[in-house]
Structure 1
């Protein structure tokens, strides 16, 4: 009986959302605070307009792992989030035990979101546009611009503004730069003449992260050289790696992130390519397997975990 009621309630919300969209010109939805609640919320300008966000939200839903990680590092634990992995990365395990899964970013469970009664929803443009009207009828919804993982820094600052945590955000960035400096100092000149490559395998493709990707920007901040093909920048920060261009990952050190069994099998196929044995990291036995969701995390918590790997493989392993 409760389930039927929730479905009817959800259908009514969808109808209201459709009417709201029809009444608006363009995509922008404006939400203005009434006088009696104006002191309890602050206006946030975002991709689809302006939304009055609660000053101290208690039931936050995030529609993306970057948004979820950003909220967590700022001291706000979402009640639910969309995920893109089955096995949680080590840096998120302790947090996910009390965060409900809403499915994937491409297909979040709107009925579950409604049942959770959130007081704030934080989304990312590419995965929220089609359902923004419905979401905004459930709770105040803000949507950050997202141009791929090169946007990870800007999106963190956006989430901090939404949550009213700009001072905490400054401390997060201070901690990030402090660790970067510690890594640079620890590395010294040991990588002076070496290039570090990174390749990730997921969802049927093999890709390389360039210098403006999430992991690529961390490597660049740490002063780590990349092979010429990975030192470039493109929109989105990643490019498809064809077997014919395998030497694009020809670094002295190679980090590999394979997401799941299918990716592991594809990696084994890649190793059968005659060019594989010509890669310097293969010849020097300096290939390191790293966690895919971590190196593609797009938030400061994941960045800290990436730096843990860099310390482990580039500093500590050389000292032992």
Structure 2
């Protein structure tokens, strides 16, 4: 089977232009494999249950946990187990270029395979629209976006006058580094839609949307509210160390007892289901627990 063919008549499939060429995808795919967590979340948000996916985490984030019970896991690395993919007999595979390009010829011999030019979490909205197009779910996608922006407006309304003066910071502690997410990151773009203020270090877009921070620049995460994401025991130990630093104790959110733990794979989820869960956190901590 050629990378651009499906072995079925053209009336049963639609040509999709993608990062590695063009492929005729089934009009109504029944056995979809998603080769990234954002792709998986996008499909689920559109009402399509993939049969398999790869994951990046040991503990499923709450927003995905119930869905993963009926989804085969193809591995925790960037590249899936090809033998498992073959055994599952998919009729459509959706991937992202940087992780899929090397094995694209093999995958496209198994099933029609389309690949998006994912450019990191700043491109999460474009990737959702790509997946919707591939799955023939563009009308459903409009409803997903309508629901998202309705929640954004509801949060703005609930925050009212506090919106203009509220400075919200986010930090991720993992793997020996302290990272901050800028305006064009996944959670940064949600916070930008809400209209809350960000610390200067997080208020502008940067390449990739994420940058590392040295302990000496800890005041760069200063804000009225600080959301903290950790991942694993090592990052919890690192957070405990940071809490002993004089600079940490100078942070406004620390002094006002407004530091809130959030789930890392949710706040970097890169899909509308994760966005909904981030908005849940924002309602919980900014509206229902304002002080």
> Structure 2 length normalisation: TM-score?
0.97
Match for 2:4 among 31, 36, 43? 31
Contact 2:180 2:210 in 1 (8 A): yes
How many residue pairs match? The answer is 291
**Residues in 1 aligned to 2:126 and 2:172: alpha-carbon distance in whole angstroms:** 23
Structure 1 residue 127 corresponds to structure 2 residue 99: yes
1:140 is the counterpart of 2:112 = yes
Partners of 1:180 and 1:270 in 2: how far apart? 33
- The alpha carbon displacement at 1:212 in A equals 0.3
Alignment partner of 1:72 is 2:41: no
1: distance between equivalents of 2:289 and 2:225?
13
1:278-319 CA distance string (max 9 Å, x none):
111111110000111110100000000000000000001138
* Aligned counterpart, 2:59: 87
Query: Offset at 1:33?
Result: 6.1
Out of 124, 149, 155, the position equivalent to 1:183 is 155
Aligned-residue Cα RMSD (Å) equals 1.5
Does the Cα contact within 8 Å between 1:84 and 1:105 map onto a contact in 2? yes
Matches for 1:297-316 after TM superposition, within 5 Å: 297-316=269-288
User: How much does 1:128 deviate?
Assistant: 0.7
Please give the alpha-carbon distance, in whole angstroms, between the structure 1 residues aligned to 2:242 and 2:12. Answer: 56
Give SS of 1:224's match.
coil
Tell me if the contact between 1:31 and 1:51 (Cα under 8 Å) persists in the aligned partners.
yes
What are the equivalent positions in structure 2 for 1:1-320 lying under 5 Å apart? 31-32=4-5, 37-318=9-290
Cα distance in 2, alignment partners of residues 32 and 137 from structure 1: 9
Using the size of structure 1 for normalisation, the TM-score is: 0.88
Distance in 1, matches of 2:208 and 2:246, equals 30
Give the whole-Å Cα distance in 2 for the aligned partners of 1:33 and 1:285.
57
8 Å Cα contact 2:168-2:224 kept in structure 1: yes
CA deviations on 1:142-173 (whole Å, 9 max, x unpaired) are 00111110010000000000000000000000
Contact persistence 1:64–1:105 (CA under 8 A): no
CA deviation vs aligned residue, 1:239-259 (integer Å, no higher than 9, x gap):
001111111101111000101
Q: Structure 2: which 5+ residue stretches go unaligned?
A: none
Q: Distance in 1 between matches of 2:273 and 2:151?
A: 12
Alpha-carbon shift at residue 105 of structure 1 (Å): 4.2
Q: Distance in 2 between matches of 1:140 and 1:204?
A: 40
Deviation at 1:274, TM superposition (A): 2.0
Deviation at 1:182, TM superposition (A): 0.4
What's 1:27 paired with? none
* Structure 2 partner of 1:7: none
- 2: CA distance, partners of 1:170 / 1:106: 30
**Do 1:60 and 1:80's aligned partners in 2 also have CA atoms closer than 8 Å?**
yes
Q: Which secondary structure does the structure 2 equivalent of 1:317 belong to? A: coil
Which residue number in structure 2 is paired with residue 9 of structure 1?
Answer: none
SS at 2:62's partner residue? Answer: coil
Tell me the distance in 2 between the aligned counterparts of 1:56 and 1:103.
26
Contact 1:73–1:300 (8 Å) recurs in 2 = yes
